[in-house]
């Protein structure tokens, strides 16, 4: 047994590491601007319908605004999901982070792990899986087709590199 700084084995150093996150086209600032515009438009219409005496319609404009807010809140909540994928000479690790904060970790032996891709002729990659010894997990299901292509290429190269070392 040695004392001092324990260095991890070179075999355990990651050859490849990626964090997969869902793409959201509207950032937090854009979300605030969208809500302000929608709120202002709803308020204008509420005032108009109150002035002309059509007060029951006011509830529908309020409901529309809260449904819009709820849809975006749910969208941003699910965007907290992510996956961390790493490949070393001895290990393939996939950590899945659920929007609730729950973490699930899957580990595979690099030499037994199989990376499978399902392709559609027009769409491209529709699913990616890592499997070994009868168990499979889906990875990158929330990625767009271009990101799936680039990840699949980089991950397959890293797996081949780890096996050849």
What is the pLDDT, as a whole number, of residue 2?
Answer: 42
Task: Note if the pTM is more than 0.75.
Answer: no
What is the spatial distance between Cα 158 and Cα 70, in angstroms, rounded to a whole number? 41
What is the spatial distance between Cα 84 and Cα 98, in angstroms, rounded to a whole number? 12
What is the pLDDT, as a whole number, of residue 8?
Answer: 53
**Which pair of structure tokens corresponds to residue 78?**
């699910």
> Which segments of the chain have a pLDDT < 50?
1-4
């Amino acid at each position: 047994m040695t004392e001092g700084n324990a260095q991890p084995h070179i075999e355990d150093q990651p050859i490849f590491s990626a964090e997969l996150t869902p793409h959201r086209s509207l950032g937090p600032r854009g979300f605030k601007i969208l809500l302000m515009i929608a709120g202002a438009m709803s308020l204008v219409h509420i005032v108009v319908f109150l002035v002309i005496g059509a007060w029951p319609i006011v509830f529908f404009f309020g409901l529309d605004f809260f449904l819009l807010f709820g849809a975006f809140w749910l969208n941003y909540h699910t965007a907290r999901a992510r996956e961390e994928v790493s490949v070393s000479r001895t290990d393939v690790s996939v950590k899945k982070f659920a929007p609730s904060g729950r973490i699930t970790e899957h580990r595979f032996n690099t030499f037994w792990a199989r990376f499978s891709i399902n392709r559609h002729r027009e769409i491209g990659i529709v699913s990616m899986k890592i499997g070994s010894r009868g168990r499979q997990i889906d990875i990158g299901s929330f990625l767009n087709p271009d990101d799936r292509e680039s990840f699949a290429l980089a991950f397959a190269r890293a797996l081949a590199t780890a096996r050849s070392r």
